[in-house]
Amino acid sequence: MSQTRSANPFRPGSGIFPPLLSGREPETTMLEARVARTREGHPQHTALLGEWAIGKTTLLMHWRRRLEAAGDRVVLTMAYPQSRDDFLAALAGAIAAEADGGWTTKVDLEVGLDVGLAEARLRKPVREVDKELRALLRRAARVGDRHAMIVLVDDVDLITTPGDALLQLRAIALELYASGVAIAFVVSASPGLFGSIRGAHEPLVRFFEPITLGPLSGAAARDAIARPLMDLNVTFDDDVVAEIVELSGGRPYYLQKLAYFAFDVAEAGRVGRAQFAAAFERAFAAVSQEIFAARWSAMAPVERRVVSVVASASVARPSGEIEGEAERLGVAPPATRQALHRLAARGHIDRLANGQRGRYSVNDRLFRRFLELQACQR
Among 212, 245, 276, give the residue marking a domain's end.
212
Quote the DSSP letter at residue 189. Answer: E
Whether residue 286 lies inside any domain: the answer is yes
> Is 126 within 8 Å of 85 (Cβ atoms)?
yes
191 and 146 belong to one structural domain: yes
pLDDT attached to residue 102: 56
In this structure, is residue 105 part of a structural domain? yes
Domain of residue 332: give its range: 299-377
Whether 113 and 147 share a structural domain: yes
Looking at the structure, tell me whether residues 154 and 238 fall in a common domain: no
What single string gives the DSSP state of each residue in 38-70?
A: HHTT---EEEEE--TTSSHHHHHHHHHHHHHHT
- Whether 196 is covered by a domain: the verdict is yes
Q: Are residues 282 and 341 both part of a single domain?
A: no
The domain that holds 343 is classified in CATH as 1.10.10.10
Alpha helix segments (H runs only) across the chain: 25-39, 56-69, 84-100, 115-122, 126-141, 162-178, 201-207, 218-229, 238-248, 252-264, 273-287, 293-298, 301-311, 319-328, 333-345, 365-377
Residue where one domain finishes, among candidates 169, 186, 212: 212
Domain identity same for 172 and 57: yes
Verify that 183 and 240 share a domain, yes or no: no
Does residue 104 fall inside a structural domain? yes
Query: Where a domain ends, among 212, 238, 257?
Result: 212
Q: Is 276 a member of any domain?
A: yes
43 and 163 fall within a common domain: yes
| Co-location of 172 and 255 in the same domain | no
314 and 368 share a domain? Answer: yes
Domain annotation covers residue 8: no
327 and 362: one domain? yes
164 and 286 co-located in one domain: no
In a domain, 343, yes or no: yes
Number of domains forming the structure of the chain: 3
**How remote is the C-alpha of 201 from its chain's centroid?**
20
Contacts of 92 (CB under 8 A, 6+ apart): 121, 129, 132, 133, 136
**Domain-located, residue 4:** no
Residues 152 and 207 occupy one common structural domain: yes
Going residue by residue through the chain, which has 378 residues, state the pLDDT in tens, using 9 for 90 and above. 444 456 888 886 544 455 456 889 999 999 999 999 999 989 999 999 998 888 898 899 999 999 999 999 999 998 989 899 899 988 988 888 776 665 444 434 333 333 333 443 444 555 677 788 888 888 777 655 578 899 999 999 999 999 999 999 999 999 988 888 889 999 999 888 887 776 677 889 899 999 999 999 999 999 999 988 988 889 999 999 999 999 999 999 899 999 999 999 999 999 999 999 999 999 999 999 989 999 999 999 999 999 999 999 989 999 999 999 999 999 999 999 999 989 988 889 988 876 567 899 999 999 999 999 998 876
pLDDT on residue 123: 47
